Structure 1
Amino acid sequence: MAAEGARRSRRLRLHAFIPHSRANGPGCRAVVWVQGCTLGCPGCFNPETHDFRGGQWVGVDELFECIRALQGTIEGITVSGGEPFQQRPALLALLQRVRAETDLSVLVFTGYTWDEIQRFRETAALLSCIDVLIAGRYDERLRLARDLRGSANKTVHLLTPRYGLHDLQLTPVSEVIIEPDGTVVISGIDPLRWQ
C-alpha cells in the first residue's frame, strides 16, 4: 500500500498541457490542467476536467522536464483543473522541482477556500512553492471574469513579491491558440467573451 502511494505521488492525472499561454497569468506561461475534481461548482467552465477516470497519468519528472525545456520562452507555469489540491503529493513534488531547479514563477487556481487550504498537511510546503494562489469555489451568481477571478468571491493571495494585483489585471481575459496539428484551444478566465 505504501508503494502505491509513493507511485501516485510521482504521477499527476493530467487533463491538458499548453506550452505557451498569455491568458492564464502574467506573461507567457505553460499551463497544466489537472484531471479530477469533486467540488462540482455549478457553471464551471471546465466540467470535462472533473472525472478522475479521464485524462492520463503523467510522471512528475516527465512533466517537469517538459516545463524545464521551455525556460527562456516562458515566465512561469499556471496550474489549474480540475482541482490541483486534490492531487497534493504529486503537485507538491512538481512545484518543489520548479522552485528549486528553475526561476519560473508559479500561479495556482484552486476551488478550495483559504481556510480549507490551511487544513491540509502539505499546506506550508505547497505555499512555499507558489507565487500567486487564487482560491475559492466558482460562484456563477457572482461572475466576475477579470483579474484572473472567475467570480467575485474568489480570493487572491500574493505569496511572494514577484507579482502585484496590477500584473493580474493586465492578463488578457481570453485567447485562441491554434496548435500545429490544427487543434483550436480557447482559454482564459472569460474565454467566451472577446476584447
Structure 2
Amino acid sequence: MTKLLNLAAWLPRSSANGPGTRMVLWVQGCPFRCPGCQNPDFLQFRLNQVVTVDDVWQVFQQLPDLAGVSFSGGEPFAQAVALAELASLVQSAGKTVVCWTGYRLEQLKSGQIKGAIHLLQSIDLLIDGLFIQQQLSDDTLRGSHNQQLHFLSGRITPADLKNIPRQEWIINDAILTYTGFPIPGDRVETEDKIL
C-alpha cells in the first residue's frame, strides 16, 4: 500500500531549489520554530493537501525533463517514511533528490527519527541545520551560514550548484509564487508567498 504525504505546497517546476529544473514539495508540519521562518504557514501539524506517494510519482513521471525532486517544508523528516518511498522511485528513474532539514546529519543517522536512515539512503544532496535569522547568508541553497551541504551520493557535486538563481517568481493559474532564498538585507512580503 502506498504511503500518504501531507503537503503544504508544491511546484511542478522550479530552478531555485537545486540543480536543474526540479519538482518541489513543501511538507506540512515542523517541530522547529525558527524565528524568521520563511514558511510560517507550513509549521503547524495539520491536514492540508493529503496525497499518496503514487499520486506524486505519476505527476513526476509526466514531466520527463525534470532533473529531480526537492523536499522542503515544514520539516521533511517529519514525513521521512513516505518521502523515502518517493525518493527511491525518483532515484530509480535516474533523477536526483535534494532535501532541506532543521536536523543535523548526525541526528538523522542516530536512528531516533523514524524513517530517517532510509530517507538518507535516497538523498543526493542534504542541506542541514536550523535557520538562524542572525546568520543570514547568500550561500547557494542556504538561508543562514550555519547550514551545511552534504553531498551524500556523488550524483550531485559542488560544480552542479553553479548558476542556481537565488530567487524565482512563477506565475501560473493567476497565482504569483515566490520561491528561493531571501537576499540578506532584502525582505519579500507577499500574500501568496512560498519562500
Instruction: Please name the residue that 2:193 is paired with.
Output: none
In structure 2, what is the Cα distance between the partners aligned to 1:132 and 1:171?
A: 14
1:96 counterpart (79, 88, 97) = 88
Deviation at 1:94, TM superposition (A): 1.3
Letter in 2 for 1:64: W
TM-score normalised per structure 2? 0.87
2:165 counterpart (164, 167, 172) = 172
Please state if 1:36 is matched with 2:29.
yes
In structure 1, what is the Cα distance between the partners aligned to 2:20 and 2:47?
A: 29
Deviation at 1:193, TM superposition (A): 6.5
Deviation readout 1:90-114 (Å, 9 max, x if unpaired): 11121122222x1111100111111
Contact 1:174 1:193 in 2 (8 A): no
In structure 1, what is the Cα distance between the partners aligned to 2:81 and 2:20?
A: 27
Please state if 1:140 is matched with 2:133.
yes
In structure 2, what is the Cα distance between the partners aligned to 1:138 and 1:106?
A: 21
3-state SS, counterpart of residue 162 of structure 1: coil
In structure 2, what is the Cα distance between the partners aligned to 1:39 and 1:154?
A: 15
RMSD of equivalent CA atoms? 1.9
Please state if 1:74 is matched with 2:73.
no
Deviation at 1:162, TM superposition (A): 2.0
Deviation at 1:54, TM superposition (A): 4.7
* Structure 2 runs not aligned, ≥5 long: 189-195
3-state SS, counterpart of residue 24 of structure 1: coil
Deviation at 1:126, TM superposition (A): 1.6
Letter in 2 for 1:151: S
* Structure 1 runs not aligned, ≥5 long: 1-6
State, as a whole percentage, how many aligned pairs show the same letter. Answer: 38
TM-score normalised per structure 1? 0.87
In structure 2, what is the Cα distance between the partners aligned to 1:27 and 1:53?
A: 31
3-state SS, counterpart of residue 34 of structure 2: coil
Q: 1:52 to 1:139 in 2, by over 3 A?
A: same
Comparing 108-117 with 160-169, greater Cα deviation is found at 160-169
3-state SS, counterpart of residue 70 of structure 1: coil
Hey, which of these two has a bigger chunk of helix by percent? 1
Letter in 1 for 2:84: L
